[in-house]
Every structure is written in structure tokens, then in C-alpha cells.
Structure 1
Amino acid sequence: MLEIKTEINCQEALLADFPGLYKEVDGKQCVYLDSASTTLKPTQMVEAVCDYYLGISANIHRGKYFSLEDVSNKFEQVRSKIANLIGGSGNEIVFVSNATEALNIVSHGLNLSKDDLVVCLPFSHHSHLLPWFDCAKVEYLQLKACQNPDLEHYATLLAKNPKVVCLTHCSNVTGIYLDLEVMIAMAKEVGALVVVDAAQSIPHRRIDVRALNIDFLAFSAHKMLGPTGVGVLYGKAELLNQLKPLKLGGGMVDWVEFSSFNLRKIPHRFEAGTPNISGVLGFGAAIDYLHKIGFNWIEQHDRELGSYMLAKAMQRSYLRVVDPRPDADRGAVLSMSIEGMNNLDDLARYLSDSFGIMCRNGHLCAQPYVSSLTSGQVIRISGYIYTRFQDIDYFFDSLDELVSALL
């Protein structure tokens, strides 16, 4: 298996690390274009998971014998890797099951009331909307006709002194990145807490939580080559210390009596029960893999692939791209509606079964936003480090053939 030493300029060198790329559907080699949902997994990550299960798969932080302490140390080393990745401290990194749980921990733990205002973006993922519906009053930032955030309206909302501002760094519908620096600075001027959904951006770009002054940040391992069932909540230490834990149980307490208990220090007070140990160790291997490739190359490829997707789509009159701004800060995610086809279930199935192309259709867990712009479903393609430009060509050629036949 190839060991990547530094930033690579030959994508072909890493393709062999992804066995999923060589699977077939009815004799057709798969073309995977659903990385915004979850990425394919490199063998190095899978081997790290297997190493744990095929060894002495001890629990963590539950005793003093050698194997347990060895696993515990490896587990905590991954916490440090994540802290270094985003510019935080180890005690500010909480392991959760996914970004959705991380956002629920924050919304639950802040003890908001229905009179407290939370400002949200209209293109947020459901996971960054529904938790706030349940605990506060939500108002949405308006978008301009060109789909840019309306900063004048944002200033108007901020003048109402919201408790929380919820920002999505990169839309899972459009692939367009938000100017976090500007929007966080504006929120901080009125003393609002800033909660960032970075599930779509962390796999492609470095984020410095200190430099940006982010209060809470959430992302998932499975969108960046890691396993499912592992996510991260970053929170400033002083804020985590004030946050009410969502779950209670073993592992998150220092002392328990019949009528009272003492919480452990952060971050462990938020990690009740036995965690996904193998998943965390696999996540650590995935982070190592990404560093070997180099985030400069990853970001460049993301930008170039996104621009190429948009250019190919704009050549087709039957497609309507969701937010086609040519000058936007765009990554490799593109959603499109098709004139005359509101339900795209059959189209997605034909792409899969006849051409081996795996892509997403529907409302993309952002139904209010998608429904405001289209009369039905959209189809989304998304790529990652293993996605080639020829994969995009093949998708659009196949789509032309299918749409011509269906319409």
C-alpha cells in the first residue's frame, strides 16, 4: 500500500487506497459522487479499526491494567490530533456520535427559553435547525436575489440581541462557503454565541477556531474518511464548563452517592457511557491520512472540482443549478433541478443501476431551502480527494442520455 509522504500532485497515487472505487454494479465500475453524505474509506483507516478489535479491545478510563491504559492513551492522542487540526485545546474536544448530537448538546445545554432569539441561515442542514426549534425562537437571515447573505438584514437581526447565531460554513446543497470571519465578527459585536456547523467544510479546509473566535463547532468523522458513529463537538473551555450535559451515566462522573454526584472535568463530563473506541482510533488514522496528502492539495482539488462541476452543468439548458454564482467560494458539491421532472427517484436509480453512478436526490436534509427554490427534488453530485474530472464528465454524459430518453 502506498505511503504518501507529503502533498501529492498525482491523484492516481491514492486511488488504490480506496477499495470501494473498484466495486461494480451489474458489471459497471462504480463512480461514487455522494461524498457530501459520507466519504469512502481508505484501507489505512479500516486497518486501524481492525487493529483495535483484533487486539485486546479493552475499554478506556475504567481501570489500571496495561492494555486498558494503552487503549486509553491512543484514544486521548486522537483528541489531541483533532485539537491541533482546528486550533483548540484537548479539553475543548468532546467525542460524540456525529455532528447532529454535537449540535443537540449545545442547544440543550444552554438552557434557552422560548423568548430567546436564535438566528439561523435558511440553507442550514436540518440538524442545525431542528434542535433550535425545540428550545428557542428562531429567525432566519434573508438571502439576496443572487443568494448571497443579506448583511443589512443580518445587522437588523443582530440588533435584536440574539443569544445564539448559527452558521453553516459550507452548504451541503450548494457547496458554497460562508465568509465566517465577517459574520462571526458582526455577531460578537452584540455578544451573541456563535455555533458553527463545519460538517461539510472540515474535510476540505483548515479552520482555526481561536483565530475566528468560534464558540462551538461541530463535525463528523464519516465525512472525512473516518468511520460512522463518531463526531466532534468543540467548545471554548469556559463555555463547556457552563453547559449542561445532555446524557448522564458512567464515565462522566467523579463521585456518586445515593442522592448526588460530581461531574468530571471537561470534556469527559459530556462523554457518558462507553464511547465508540474503535471509531475514534479509526478517525485518528483518517486524520493522519489527510495530513499526509496535505490540506493545501485537498482544498485546491475541492475548488477546481467544484468549478468544473458548475461549468459542465451550465452547458445544459435542461438543468437549473441551485445557486449558480460563478464568483462564489465554491467546493465540490452541486445540486440541480431538472425541468419537467419533479421526482428524481427513478433518475437516481437509473444512474445507479445502468451506469454505476452513485449520487443523491431529494431535498438533502435542507427541505425548507430546497423547496423555496424548486418545485420538487434536486439531484446532487459531490466529490472528494478520490474524485476525478473524468468522473464528472461521465456523470453528465450519462445524465444527458437518461434525460433525453425520459423526457
Structure 2
Amino acid sequence: MPDTCRDDFPALRREIDGQAISYLDNAATTLKPRSVIQAVSAYYESNGANIHRGKHRLSEEASDAYESSRMVIARHISAAANEVVLLRNASEALNLVAHGLDLDPDAYIVGCLDVHHSQLLPWRRAGRLDLTRVDSHGRLDRDHFRTLLRGRPKVVVLTHCSNVTGVIHPVEELIAEVRAACDATVVLDAAQSLPHQRINVRDLDVDFMAFSMHKMLGPTGVGCLFGRSELLAALRPLTVGGGMVDWVDLDGSVDRRIPFKFETGTPAIASVIGCAAAIRYLEGLDTPQRHQHAQELSAALVDGALARPGVRLIGPPDETDRIALAALRLDDGVPAGEVARLLSDSYGYMVRSGHMCAQPLVTELAGGEVLRVSAYLYNEVSEIEGFYQALDELLSWMAPASSCG
């Protein structure tokens, strides 16, 4: 699988001090294929005008390209174009919903312990948030979830896939349980899942869904919010200003229709245009071979962690219902950040260290910072094997030093 696409990613040709890089930080952001880079460059080279602001030829061309990208994104998740709001990132999308529902300060909200900070902090501010427990491998405690639903929450916020454990939760089943238990608004964070699988928002029966294009081969600066049209229309905008109004006078203003009433100011035009190229690229690789390759990457990550005494895998010890991601807790005294730096500078392996913007979960399951390795469609099993060999070498001389103090 990677042999057919690695050449499409110019960044993979990069070397550091003569060492070829191996990019294994895909849960943070993915690299960009040449088609995406070319789409962004083409806008700047041949146009560069603002959108929805003028009647001249360049503005109309840019506006058409921008709205065509919205349609490509919407079609990818089986939504209508007016149900997709284009924002800066998934964090802004989730904040828009949390703010826009205009909840009572005491409104009861149910979430999950493996929530990303972008899904935790807005809802903590919006109401009274209660988090569903997870087991020792990061899988949702379904009994506890059902218990919390008996409190008849106003909103249920779900994480489709954890950026710490790689666990893919059975959100279709969870949403069905919500519908049976209460009349809650369901908000899904799909930032980690959508890069790896198609999602049909109609089949899923979700009310709102947020995701980031930069995690699925697209440019940075674009977050997307899906919302059912009738629910979007009732949301209060998070920001106000130019571009989101049809009329302004001394007595008031008239908001534009959805989704435009949520899109204030000049957007990331080139990046949004590049997103259409990213979606087309992903759809072109939506094959059984790609998904088999993802399973092989996941197996290599899990098996490599389980085979090492100085490493503890945070997450399930198998490849069932998970993406190709492994969070590793190193022996006490071995600093994950320093290991990440050495892996990069001495071996060319780009991985992440820290709390992954999910500190409550990392604290609960790992007790401290972790090293995260996340693979994607252009990675090879041999890279993961090489990463573990490099980690072994580092730990062989770092671990003894850590135990002396």
C-alpha cells in the first residue's frame, strides 16, 4: 500500500543530518500529498481574491471553488452543503455548539473520560459535565454510561476515537442508547476517526459532528462542523462581524442563512480549496488494501509495545476496534519528552510526547506523560519496527541512568 502513495508526499523526502525522516505523528496532523499542495498553490498563483465580497471575475471564481469544496466535504459525510460550517479547527466547531445552544448554567451534560480538551473545556463551561468512566484499556464503561443517561442530560458529547488509546467506540450503539433514554442533543468529536473511515451522519443519527481537515491530509486552518439544518438554524453564532450578515443599519442587523451566519470574516480560502483535493485523494484510496494495511500497522504497534519490558501500552492489547496508534508509558524516571527529541534528532523518527491534550485520561491510565506513535496510509511496518529498535537503544542507556538518582 505505501509503495503506491509515498511518492505523493514531498515531505517524506526530507532528511535531518543525512537521516531520512519517518513521520509517526499522524494523530497530531498528517502530511500533505502533492495534489493538495498544488491546489493551494494554484489559488495563490492564478487568483488570490476574496470570496463572497465582490462581483468581479476573480472573486466569483474563488467563491465557486470555495463552495465546491464545501460540497465535496459534505458529500464525504453524506450531509447537505448547508449543514457544513467551515471554521478554523475542530476546537472552534465544538465551542460554537457549546456556546450556541445557550444552555442553562446548570444544564446536565454527559461526556466520557477520554474526551479531548477541545471537547472537555467548552462543555465544562457550558453546563454541569459528568464523565463516563473507562476501563483499564480505555474502553467505555457501558453500564456507567447508561447510569448517567438516567439523569436525562440535555447534551451527550461523545468521542468517536481516542487520541490516546486509539480505541474506536461503538458510537452508533451509544447514540441509539441516548435516543432511547432521553431527548438529548448528541455532539460527536470525529477528529481522530474520520481520517481512517467514512462516516455517514444520516446513518449515525448524530446531531452535530466536528472534525479537522489537517488530520486527513488537508491543509491546516480548516475545521468542519456538521449540524442538522434545523439545529444549526437555532444556534447562536459564536462570533459576529463581516460576512455573516445580510443587512446592517443603525437599529440592528439580519443574519445570513446557514451555514454562512457562523462564518465571520475572511476565511482560509486557499486551505478550504485544498481540502477538496484531500477528500478526493482519500476517497481514491478507500480500498480493502488500505484497510488491511492499517490493520498491519496497528498490529506492529501493539505487538512491538507488548514485547518490551520497559514499555507499557496505554490502551487495548489487541487490534480490535482501534486505529494504528500506540501510547507508551516508559519506565519511571525516563522522560518521554527527551526520548521524543532524541528519536527525532538521532534517528529521524517523529513522534509525540506529553498528555496529548487529554490530560485527565492520561493521568488516569498512565499516571504521567506518554510517548505516542501514530501511523497513517503512507507509513510502512518496517518504520514501526525501526522505531522500536531505536527506542530499545535509547532505553538501554537511559534507563540505568534514571535508576541511579
> What TM-score results when the alignment is normalised by the length of structure 2?
0.96
- The offset of 1:45, in angstroms, is 0.5
Q: Matches of 2:137 and 2:271 in 1, distance apart?
A: 41
Contact 2:218 2:275 in 1 (8 A): yes
Corresponding residue for residue 254 of structure 1: 246
Corresponding residue for residue 113 of structure 1: 104
More off after superposition, 55-64 vs 266-275 = 55-64
Amino acid at match of 1:341: G
Q: Matches of 1:126 and 1:39 in 2, distance apart?
A: 20
Contact 1:204 1:298 in 2 (8 A): no
Corresponding residue for residue 183 of structure 2: 191
For 1:352-371, list aligned pairs within 5 A.
352-371=344-363
- The offset of 1:55, in angstroms, is 1.2
State which of 273, 283, 296 in structure 1 corresponds to 2:275: 283
1:82–1:102 distance in 2 versus 1, CA, 3 Å = same
Q: Matches of 1:298 and 1:174 in 2, distance apart?
A: 21
Point out where structure 2 has 5 or more consecutive residues left out of the alignment. Answer: 400-405
- The offset of 1:300, in angstroms, is 3.2
Corresponding residue for residue 378 of structure 2: 386
Contact 1:45 1:286 in 2 (8 A): yes
Corresponding position: 1:66 with 2:70? no
Q: Which digits, 9 at most, give the CA deviation of each residue in 1:192-234, with x for residues without a partner?
A: 1110100111111000100110100001111011111011000
Corresponding residue for residue 181 of structure 1: 172
Corresponding position: 1:43 with 2:34? yes
Q: Matches of 1:341 and 1:380 in 2, distance apart?
A: 17
More off after superposition, 10-19 vs 294-303 = 294-303
Corresponding position: 1:273 with 2:270? no
Aligned residues: 398
Secondary structure, counterpart of 2:139 in structure 1? coil
1:389–1:146 distance in 2 versus 1, CA, 3 Å = closer
Amino acid at match of 1:42: P
1:310–1:283 distance in 2 versus 1, CA, 3 Å = same
- The offset of 1:146, in angstroms, is 4.7
- The offset of 1:304, in angstroms, is 2.5
Corresponding residue for residue 7 of structure 1: none
State which of 208, 211, 218 in structure 1 corresponds to 2:200: 208
Corresponding residue for residue 132 of structure 1: 123
Q: Which digits, 9 at most, give the CA deviation of each residue in 1:341-380, with x for residues without a partner?
A: 3531211111111101110011110111101122321000
Q: Matches of 1:292 and 1:327 in 2, distance apart?
A: 25
- The offset of 1:61, in angstroms, is 1.2
1:300–1:113 distance in 2 versus 1, CA, 3 Å = farther
Q: Matches of 1:48 and 1:343 in 2, distance apart?
A: 41
1:55–1:245 distance in 2 versus 1, CA, 3 Å = same
More off after superposition, 247-256 vs 10-19 = 10-19
Q: Matches of 1:87 and 1:124 in 2, distance apart?
A: 25
For 1:8-27, list aligned pairs within 5 A.
10-27=1-18
Q: Which digits, 9 at most, give the CA deviation of each residue in 1:124-160, with x for residues without a partner?
A: 1100100111110010101234533121111111111
Corresponding residue for residue 255 of structure 2: 263
Amino acid at match of 1:206: R
Secondary structure, counterpart of 2:164 in structure 1? coil
Secondary structure, counterpart of 2:8 in structure 1? coil
Secondary structure, counterpart of 2:373 in structure 1? strand
Contact 2:114 2:134 in 1 (8 A): no
Corresponding residue for residue 78 of structure 2: 87
- The offset of 1:68, in angstroms, is 1.3
Contact 1:93 1:232 in 2 (8 A): yes
Corresponding residue for residue 95 of structure 2: 104
User: Share of identical aligned residues, percent?
Assistant: 45
Contact 2:110 2:130 in 1 (8 A): yes
Q: Which digits, 9 at most, give the CA deviation of each residue in 1:70-113, with x for residues without a partner?
A: 11111111111111100110000000000000000000000012
1:145–1:337 distance in 2 versus 1, CA, 3 Å = closer
Q: Matches of 2:365 and 2:220 in 1, distance apart?
A: 31
Q: Matches of 1:300 and 1:119 in 2, distance apart?
A: 35
Corresponding position: 1:403 with 2:398? no
Corresponding position: 1:231 with 2:223? yes
Corresponding residue for residue 403 of structure 2: none
Contact 1:206 1:295 in 2 (8 A): no
> What TM-score results when the alignment is normalised by the length of structure 1?
0.95
Corresponding residue for residue 143 of structure 2: 152
Contact 1:342 1:377 in 2 (8 A): no
Secondary structure, counterpart of 2:235 in structure 1? coil
Contact 1:229 1:279 in 2 (8 A): yes
Contact 2:138 2:316 in 1 (8 A): no
1:178–1:40 distance in 2 versus 1, CA, 3 Å = same
- The offset of 1:307, in angstroms, is 1.9
Q: Matches of 2:287 and 2:129 in 1, distance apart?
A: 35
